[in-house]
Amino acid sequence: MNVSLVAYTPNPEVTVALAARTCYSHHLSLEISLEKAQILIQELIQRGHESVLEHASFTFQIEGISRVASHQLVRHRLASYSQQSHRYVALHEPNFVCPPSIAKHEEAHALYREVLGHCQKTYERLLQLGIEKEDARYLLPQGVTTNLFFSANARELLHIFRLRLCNRAQWEIRELCWQMLTLVRVVAPSIFALAGPPCVDGICPEGEKSCGRPWKKSA
């Protein structure tokens, strides 16, 4: 997969801090140093005053994730999406994500490629027979890759990272979220310093279902 940060609110940390200052000042504040903004943001996050984080938005281009992962991503309702349409785009040479568990198993990998090849050939044949793309696409497996434009504010991104970077989330959406987090940490470090599942800075709420391992990138 390829993930890039294509746009974001200019000076996201200063913007968030100015929004917060509005709540606590008699007059509108127009200036705050980056250093003070970063300290204030950490206090705001600790206090749970997260609504001010909605003033900073981030837009990503996401290329080459499976429809499995994109379906998980679009369940997050407080974000905006534009996704490649298989009604309009014919997939003459589709790519497919192969899960590592299948890729490393010789027999499973051979079976996987065989069935994908069969689906692909049949899809192409249906198009030749005059079937519309929107109907032929019913044959495309969930592993087929897709591209999205995805925008969300910092509060929603933190929520998504909390759920989807957890070891209990699936490997592909974890990888996607890790790449997004790495990008936003560069431009808004104080907002995303403690981003990740609850075990990053507290107790795992998963109870019996907990993986029992504190979170780290390689898990």
Ligand X SMILES: Cc1cc2nc3c(=O)[nH]c(=O)nc-3n(C[C@H](O)[C@H](O)[C@H](O)COP(=O)(O)OP(=O)(O)OC[C@H]3O[C@@H](n4cnc5c(N)ncnc54)[C@H](O)[C@@H]3O)c2cc1C
Positions marked catalytic: 164
Helix (H, G, I), strand (E, B) or coil at 81: strand
Helix (H, G, I), strand (E, B) or coil at 52: helix
Please, what is the minimum distance in Å from the beta carbon of residue 156 to ligand X?
6
Please, what is the minimum distance in Å from the beta carbon of residue 205 to ligand X?
12
Helix (H, G, I), strand (E, B) or coil at 150: strand
- Nearest partner of 131 among 83, 84, 94, 90, judged by Cα: 90
Helix (H, G, I), strand (E, B) or coil at 23: helix
Judged by CB under 6 A, the chain residues 85 through 144 that form the site for ligand X are none
Q: What is the DSSP letter of 92?
A: S
Position 168 contacts ligand X (CB under 6 A): yes
Position 76 contacts ligand X (CB under 6 A): yes
Position 19 contacts ligand X (CB under 6 A): no
Q: Do 172 and 69 contact (CB within 8 A), yes or no?
A: yes
Position 159 contacts ligand X (CB under 6 A): yes
In this chain, which of 1, 19, 98, 169 binds ligand X, going by CB under 6 A?
169
**Residues contributing to the site for ligand X (CB under 6 A):** 75-78, 156, 159, 163-164, 168-169
